[in-house]
């Protein structure tokens, strides 16, 4: 997960000019990314099918201060204690994360997740426009980049980012599918949306992602289906990233995703 440096800047006016749009979003992003890899937390994830039936549930402790193979610790898998296979799976997940991070560091790259592009990487902050505003917050519509975008076609998705005007930090980011699209020849995505909610878990630091949600309806060869996913982060603890032993900063946009 990424980190970056930033400066806390206060808004001097209730109204935000067009020239302030990229600056506000840029500050919010930097505040988020600065601390992302400095939080250990417990993630509770629930996946349901289109009828609301739970098909997967897990509770996993993530701690970026530990060696990569130990960063993911499963606590409960579908209501039971993890077995040997679960432990191997999450150990390998941590090892793969370490491999990506170290490869990115060697190559001088910001990407730690292979070829999969995150929402954060695809957001075109410079072209953001004002969507709505009140006394405390401002919401921007953020277009997606076209170049190199193989995951989220810009014309198909609407992305909104809500920012606190005083602290210049994110409150919520959401993406919604505007119209049905075909992912592959036999799969049609009918609807879909995802969101990230932020909250301050320590008054000394910027808000952290505390809830990630996603829903979608699709059809495969005309057979309908659906999925929903929700992950909540709790029991936060401030830590020093294991990657700090290299003295590097990587993956600056990968954390903004769901």
Does pLDDT of 64 surpass 50?
Answer: yes
In angstroms, the CA 61 to CA 27 distance is 29
pTM of the model: 0.79
User: What residue ranges do the domains of the chain occupy?
Assistant: 34-246
Does pLDDT of 14 surpass 60?
Answer: no
Is 258:213 a contact under the CB 8 Å cutoff? Answer: yes
H/E element, 25: helix 20-35
Residue 225's nearest CA partner among 48, 78, 76 is 48
Greater model confidence, 247 or 123: 123
For residue 47, what are the CA distances in angstroms to 67, 103, 187? 28, 31, 20
Greater model confidence, 28 or 243: 28
Is 24:200 a contact under the CB 8 Å cutoff? Answer: no
Q: What's the distance, CA 191 to chain centroid?
A: 20
Per-residue pLDDT of 187-218, as tens digits, reads 667 778 889 999 999 999 999 999 999 887 65
Does pLDDT of 148 surpass 60?
Answer: yes
pLDDT of 223: 62
Q: Percentage of the chain surpassing pLDDT 90? A: 41
CA dihedral 198, 57, 152, 252 (to 10 degrees): 50
Q: What is the mean pLDDT of residues 128-139?
A: 92
In angstroms, the CA 93 to CA 212 distance is 20
């Amino acid at each position: 997960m990424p980190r970056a440096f930033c400066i806390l800047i206060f808004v001097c006016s209730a109204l935000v000019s067009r020239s302030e749009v990229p600056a506000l979003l840029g500050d919010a992003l930097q505040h988020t990314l600065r601390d992302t890899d400095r939080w250990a937390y417990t993630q509770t994830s629930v996946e349901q099918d289109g009828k609301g039936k739970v098909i997967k549930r897990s509770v996993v402790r993530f701690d970026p201060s530990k060696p990569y193979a130990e960063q993911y610790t499963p606590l409960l898998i579908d209501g039971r204690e993890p077995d040997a296979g679960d432990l191997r799976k999450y150990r390998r997940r941590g090892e793969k994360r370490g491999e990506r991070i170290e490869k990115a560091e060697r190559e001088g790259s910001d990407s730690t997740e292979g070829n999969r592009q995150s929402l954060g990487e695809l957001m075109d902050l410079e072209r953001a426009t004002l969507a709505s505003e009140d006394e405390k917050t401002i919401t921007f519509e953020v277009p997606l980049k076209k170049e190199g975008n193989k995951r989220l076609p810009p014309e198909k998705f609407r992305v909104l980012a809500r920012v606190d005007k005083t602290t210049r930090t994110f409150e919520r980011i959401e993406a919604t599918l505007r119209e049905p699209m075909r992912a592959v020849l036999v799969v049609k995505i009918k609807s879909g949306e995802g969101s990230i909610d932020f909250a301050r878990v320590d008054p000394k630091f910027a808000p952290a992602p505390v809830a990630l949600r996603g829903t979608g309806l699709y059809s495969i060869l005309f057979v309908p289906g659906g999925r929903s996913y929700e992950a909540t982060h709790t029991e936060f603890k401030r830590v020093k990233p294991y990657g700090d032993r290299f003295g590097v900063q990587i993956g600056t946009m990968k954390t903004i995703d769901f």
